[in-house]
Structure 1
Amino acid sequence: MFKSFDGFTDDFGRITSWPSDRRAQHQMAILNHLTDLFESGRVYSPQEVGVMLRDHADESLEATLLTELLDGEYLTGGEQGYWRADSRPTGANTPTREG
C-alpha cells in the first residue's frame, strides 16, 4: 500500500512539490498516480507527455517528474515517444529504431 500524496498537491489535486527522498512512499504514490494516466500500449509524443504532466502538476516539476518516471521504469522510450513500461506499444504506434 502506498502513502497518500495529498500533502504535495493544491486544492485542484495538481502536484505542487516533489517529496524528499526520506518520503519514498509518497514519491511512489505520485509516480503510480501519474502512470495510471497513460493508456497501456499507446505511444505518447514528448509534447503529449509534457502537456499531461503540466495538466497534473506544477510546470516547474515537469522535468523532475519525467526523469523520475523514466528512472523508476514507470515509463520508457525517448525522443520518438514514451509509453508505459509495463506494456509494449503495438501496431502503427510502435516506435522504430530509425531516426
Structure 2
Amino acid sequence: MCKDAIVFHNKPKGVTLEAGVTYMICACGRSKEGIFCDGSHEVTECLPKEVTVEKTKQYHICMCKTSNNFPFCDGTHSIYNDDEVGKAVKI
C-alpha cells in the first residue's frame, strides 16, 4: 500500500481480466476510473500494480487501495465509510 494513496471507493469493482494480458492497476486512487493506471500517480510516490492473470474471468478489484491482496479485494473496504472516499488511506 502506498502512503500517498487515497480511497477511490469503499466497495470493490468487478472487471473482466483476460488471461496472459498484463494490466497496470491504479494503486494511488487518483486515476479517472479508479481501476487502470492513467498516470495520475505521478504527483505521488505510488506506483501502479502490474498484474497478469492465468484465467480469463471477472475479478473484484480493490477500490479502497488498502487490500492485503491488492489489486484484488479482500474486504478491507469495510473499514471506510462514504465520508472517507477521496481521503487518505488508513495505514
Q: TM-score range by the shorter chain?
A: under 0.3
TM-score normalized by structure 2? 0.25
Between Structure 1 and Structure 2, the one with more helix by share is 1
The structure having more radius of gyration, on CA atoms, is: 1
Higher RCO structure (Cα 8 Å, ≥6 apart): 2
Between Structure 1 and Structure 2, the one with more strand by share is 2
